[in-house]
């Protein structure tokens, strides 16, 4: 089976009439959800408010990620990178700059984390 990856073009631009590009927002760092139930509730509200501000751009709110294992080329597995990915979401945006703009305001940023923005390339 042969798959061809078709980039949308520079910065994720798409031709008129095509669907908007999809982007994965990958969350790293930013601490935990809070020690008390009140802190956890505030964090959850911040996330839900941010998702609400994105409106129809949200394709998949995603989820936080837990413990990871890494599979190596020889088939062995080891502990995953503990400083790595801790959650994701999928959004639609006109291009990568639009996606980056939508990532601003993400609650993980307020806690010292980062949001990596990856374009999902169509395969066909």
* Residues in CB range of 37: below 8 A, 6 or more apart: none
In angstroms, what CA-CA distances link 44 with 49, 74, 83? Answer: 9, 40, 22
Q: Model confidence over 9-27: pLDDT tens digits?
A: 444 444 444 578 999 999 9
Which letter does DSSP use for residue 11 in this model?
Answer: G
Q: Model confidence over 44-67: pLDDT tens digits?
A: 999 999 999 999 999 999 998 888
What are the structural domains of the chain? 10-120 (3.30.70.1060)
Please classify residue 109 by burial: count the beta carbons closer than 10 Å to its beta carbon, then call 0-12 exposed, 13-18 middle and 19+ buried. Answer: middle
Q: Where are the alpha helices (DSSP H) in the chain?
A: 37-54, 96-103, 107-110
* pLDDT exceeds 90 at position 35: no
Task: Work out the pLDDT band at 30, boundaries 50, 70, 90.
Answer: confident
């Amino acid at each position: 089976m042969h798959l061809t990856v078709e980039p949308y073009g520079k910065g994720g631009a798409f031709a008129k009439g095509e669907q908007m590009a999809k982007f994965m927002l990958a969350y790293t760092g930013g601490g935990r959800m809070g020690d008390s139930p009140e802190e956890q509730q505030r964090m959850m509200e911040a996330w839900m408010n941010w998702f609400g501000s994105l409106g129809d751009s949200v394709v998949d709110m995603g989820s936080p990620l837990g413990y990871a294992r890494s599979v190596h080329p020889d088939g062995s597995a080891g502990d995953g990178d503990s400083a790595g990915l801790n959650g994701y979401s999928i959004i639609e945006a006109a291009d990568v700059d639009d996606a980056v703009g939508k990532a601003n305001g993400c609650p993980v940023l307020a806690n010292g984390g980062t949001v990596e923005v990856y374009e999902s390339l169509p395969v066909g």
